[in-house]
């Protein structure tokens, strides 16, 4: 800063303004002086400056500032789809939810963030090329042995996610989590396929296999404490091996024809059997009616005979006569007849044989 003399010959120096004028009152702060003082104080804090105790305090201040910055670096944020896992010296201490959280920074503390709402897929039996347009078969994964000792080519997809309730199990209990889930999926599918027959796998049991594999996978992963939720198992294709697929198609067609013929036979049986049963029931009812009628008639005749016998015992002659007359009435009631009294006078009656009438009847019978 410039200085000027206020009088002659070695007078005292007084401060003035930058253009040789005296500073006005009140006096303004001297920024250059303040800057110089600050530089000197910083130098006194630095080691080797000869400041003694003042240098030690500087090191302590720098250390405190560094510790403060290090502690502040422990703040972190967790996204809504994530869960944070806090670790101290590599040991799990707790989990944090979405938002701003704190844990001791590295190297003492560490935070691992897991996407617990993200759904992942695993393909078993096939994989996609890098262009994601074409797939490549993996027969070492897809070929499986069935319960009836046939081979089935099974390709399927597993949809899973990290369990949001136990994400620490996923992070710390198993290594190579995706490979573990895929191995469990393949093992569960082989077990279910090994209990089934090839024809049922190819036709009716496809919708039964999916939930069975999902349930078995979840049970195995729970035993591992893997922290994984199996959301769905989707069968992409279930076919016989390529070498014998034509023969299996012929067998399938033959089975369809067998089922069709069986259905037709069952329909015919359902139509004929009721008709036969109806006819049998009608015949039984007719026989039952005839039986009841015959028994009733026989019972009536027996009762009538008993009554006649009772009357016969009372007057045998009269009863015989009456029975004889009733019999003759039934026999000759519908016939042409001439009655001749043999005990009376027969002078006016000439017996003759009507040959012409008999001859005519015999001739008509011959012509017939």
Q: Are residues 40 and 124 in the same domain?
A: no
Residue 222 lies in a domain: yes
Pairing of strands 120-124, 151-162: antiparallel
Report CA torsion sign: 183, 187, 193, 194: positive
Residue 215 lies in a domain: yes
pLDDT digits (tens, 9 = 90+) for 51-83: 444 456 767 778 888 888 888 877 888 888 888
Residue 250 lies in a domain: no
Residue 333 lies in a domain: no
Q: Are residues 182 and 204 in the same domain?
A: yes
50 is written with which tokens? 């000869």
Residue 287 lies in a domain: no
Are 101 and 76 in contact by the 8 Å Cβ rule? The answer is yes
Last residue of a domain, one of 64, 85, 115: 115
Last residue of a domain, one of 187, 209, 240: 240
Q: Are residues 173 and 79 in the same domain?
A: no
How far is Cα 352 from Cα 101, in angstroms, rounded to an integer?
149
Question: Partners of 115 in the beta sheet?
Answer: 82
Q: Are residues 101 and 166 in the same domain?
A: no
Largest CA distance in the chain: 228
pLDDT of residue 320: 82
Question: Which burial class, exposed, middle or buried, applies to 227 when counting CB atoms under 10 A from its CB (0-12, 13-18, 19+)?
Answer: buried
Q: Are residues 228 and 203 in the same domain?
A: yes
How far is Cα 113 from Cα 82, in angstroms, rounded to an integer?
6
The parts of the chain modelled with pLDDT lower than 50 are: 1-26, 49-54
pLDDT of residue 344: 57
Number of domains in the chain: 3
Q: Are residues 223 and 162 in the same domain?
A: yes
Q: Are residues 155 and 44 in the same domain?
A: no
How far is Cα 154 from Cα 44, in angstroms, rounded to an integer?
79
Domain residues for 143?
Answer: 120-240
134-145 burial string, b = 16+ CB within 10 Å, else e?
eeeeeeebbebe
Q: Are residues 143 and 217 in the same domain?
A: yes
Coil/strand/helix, residue 163: coil
Residue 139 lies in a domain: yes
Q: Are residues 79 and 68 in the same domain?
A: no
Residue 284 lies in a domain: no
Q: Residue 154's closest CA among 124, 133, 184, 117?
A: 124
Q: What is the CATH number of the domain that holds 189?
A: 3.30.479.30
pLDDT digits (tens, 9 = 90+) for 281-335: 999 999 999 999 999 999 998 988 888 788 778 888 887 888 888 888 888 777 7
Is the pTM higher than 0.85? Answer: no
Tell me the Ramachandran region of residue 245: left when phi exceeds 0, alpha when psi lies from -120 to 50, beta otherwise.
Answer: alpha
Instruction: Using the structure block, give the residue that is written with the tokens 């910083």.
Output: 42
Instruction: Using the structure block, give the residue that is written with the tokens 């049970």.
Output: 219
DSSP one-letter code for 215: H
Q: Are residues 222 and 189 in the same domain?
A: yes
How far is Cα 121 from Cα 326, in angstroms, rounded to an integer?
108
């Amino acid at each position: 800063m410039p200085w000027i003399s206020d009088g002659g010959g070695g007078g005292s120096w007084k401060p003035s303004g930058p253009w040789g004028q005296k500073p006005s009152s009140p006096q303004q702060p001297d920024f250059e002086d303040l800057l110089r003082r600050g530089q000197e104080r910083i130098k006194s804090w630095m080691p080797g400056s000869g400041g003694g105790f003042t240098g030690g305090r500087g090191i302590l201040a720098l250390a405190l500032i560094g510790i403060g910055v290090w502690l502040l670096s422990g703040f972190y944020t967790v996204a809504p789809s994530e869960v944070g896992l806090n670790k101290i010296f590599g040991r799990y201490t707790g989990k944090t939810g979405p938002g701003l959280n704190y844990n001791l920074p590295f190297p003492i503390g560490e935070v691992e963030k897991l996407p617990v709402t993200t759904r992942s897929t695993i393909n078993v039996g096939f994989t996609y090329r890098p262009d994601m347009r074409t797939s490549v078969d993996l027969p070492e994964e897809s070929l499986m042995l069935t319960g009836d000792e046939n081979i089935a080519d099974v390709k399927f997809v597993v949809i899973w996610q990290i369990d949001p309730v136990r994400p620490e199990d996923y992070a710390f209990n198993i290594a190579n989590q995706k490979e573990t889930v895929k191995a469990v999926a393949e093992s569960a599918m082989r077990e279910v396929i090994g209990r089934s027959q090839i024809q049922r796998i190819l036709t009716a049991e496809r919708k039964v296999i999916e939930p069975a594999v999902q349930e078995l996978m979840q049970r195995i992963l729970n035993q591992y404490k893997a922290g994984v939720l199996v959301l769905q198992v989707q069968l992409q294709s279930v076919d016989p091996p390529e070498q014998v697929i034509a023969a299996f198609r012929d067998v399938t067609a033959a089975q369809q024809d067998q089922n069709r013929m069986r259905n037709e036979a069952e329909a015919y049986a359902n139509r004929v059997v009721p008709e036969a049963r109806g006819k049998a029931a009608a015949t039984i009812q007719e026989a039952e009616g005839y039986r009841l009628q015959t028994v009733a008639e026989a019972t009536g005749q027996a009762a009538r005979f008993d009554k006649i016998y009772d009357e016969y015992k009372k007057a045998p002659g009269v009863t015989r006569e009456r029975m004889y007359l009733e019999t003759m009435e039934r026999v000759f009631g519908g016939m042409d007849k001439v009655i001749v009294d043999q005990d009376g006078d027969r002078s006016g009656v000439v017996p003759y044989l009507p040959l012409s009438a008999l001859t005519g009847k015999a001739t008509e019978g011959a012509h017939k």
